[in-house]
Amino acid sequence: MTGTAFDWGPLLEGGPLFLGILNLTPDSFSDGGRYVEPAAALSQAHRLVAAGARMLDLGAESTRPGSVVVEAATEWGRLEPALAALTEALPHIPLSLDTRHATVAARGLAAGASVLNDVDGFADPGMLDLAAGSRCGLIAMRSRRLGAGFLMPPYGDPAPKEATSALAELVAVRDRLLTAGIAAERVLLDPGFGFGTSFMEDLALWKALPRVPEALAWPVDRICIGISRKRFLATRAGTPGLPPDQRDALTAAAHSEAIGWGYRVFRTHALPG
């Protein structure tokens, strides 16, 4: 390996670090289709940066419940023009790629991305090898698979749940990267709200957040919270039918709650006003 390893340190100085989510898919749960065209993606990127995002997280494969698995070639076809436009127009803003495909991740790093964000927690050997052989930043999330897609149980299951299983899965993600020789300082861990969890399990996981850093033996400022516009927020508020694009106030309130527990890093569709 050559070059300097990605350093989260400067981005974690000062206030919270918001990663502005830029969906390049036609079927995102939140804003599907709005930013598929490079010009629209660039305009949204400028809005996010102007609002205070200090990193952008680009995703070209939807991971919403019931989403269709996207081939790597299709995913790269969506990413490449947006990535080129963003690296030229916003060279001072680091870019994260939300991808599960090693070929897409490698091409993205070569095209200027600084961080790989894998909702599969680098379970794929190709992704893990790429992470270990590079110096980029990493965001590793816990999730539950069902074949080629994600396990998505009925969200309204009323049975009480504990956070134990989800936290054990997150520990396994942590250990996978560390065992591969990846420096802990390169890594943010993501609890994966909504990925294979019902509302009651998400609620238990949220209530466990104050003790998660100790449970993981992991610094609180290197845990990334991805709760933006998720159904957990609408359900917790007693308004489960609230459309995703009307959940920004709930998102901001949840971010404030987590900030009170010491959390510093958030993936978000919209920044607080």
Q: What is the 3-state secondary structure (H, E, C) of the chain?
A: CCCCCCCCHHHHCCCCEEEEEEECCCCCCCCCCCCCCHHHHHHHHHHHHHHCCCEEEEECCCCCCCCCCCCHHHHHHHHHHHHHHHHHHCCCCCEEEECCCHHHHHHHHHCCCCEEEECCCCCCHHHHHHHHHCCCEEEEECCCEECCEECCCCCCCCCCCCCHHHHHHHHHHHHHHHHCCCCHHHEEEECCCCCCCCHHHHHHHHHHHHHHHHHHCCCHHHEEECCCCCHHHHHHCCCCCCCHHHCHHHHHHHHHHHHHCCCCEEEECCCCC
Token output for 127? 């992704």
Rg (CA), the chain: 17
CA–CA distance, 74 with 225 (Å, rounded to integer): 28
Token output for 145? 């698979």
* Spatial contact of 253 and 211, defined as CB atoms under 8 Å apart: no
pLDDT of residue 153: 83
More confident of the two residues 113 and 26: 113
Is the pLDDT reported for residue 4 higher than 70?
Answer: no
Residue 204, number of CB atoms within 10 A of its CB: 19
Q: Which of the given ranges, 12-16, 73-77, 248-252, has the highest pLDDT on average? A: 248-252
More confident of the two residues 153 and 187: 187
> Once rounded to an integer, what is the mean pLDDT over residues 88-117?
96
Q: Which of 144, 236, 119, 258 is nearest to 197 (CA)?
A: 144
Tell me the one-letter amino acid at 239. Answer: T
Q: What is the pLDDT of residues 24-76, one digit of tens each?
A: 987 555 555 677 788 889 999 999 999 999 999 999 887 655 556 778 899 99
> Once rounded to an integer, what is the mean pLDDT over residues 132-160?
88
Q: What is the pLDDT of residues 151-186, one digit of tens each?
A: 788 898 888 899 999 999 999 999 999 999 999 999
> Once rounded to an integer, what is the mean pLDDT over residues 97-120?
96
The superfamily CATH assigns to domain 14-268 is Dihydropteroate synthase-like (3.20.20.20)
| Annotated domain spans of the chain | 14-268
pLDDT of residue 201: 96
In the chain, what percentage of residues exceed pLDDT 90? 79
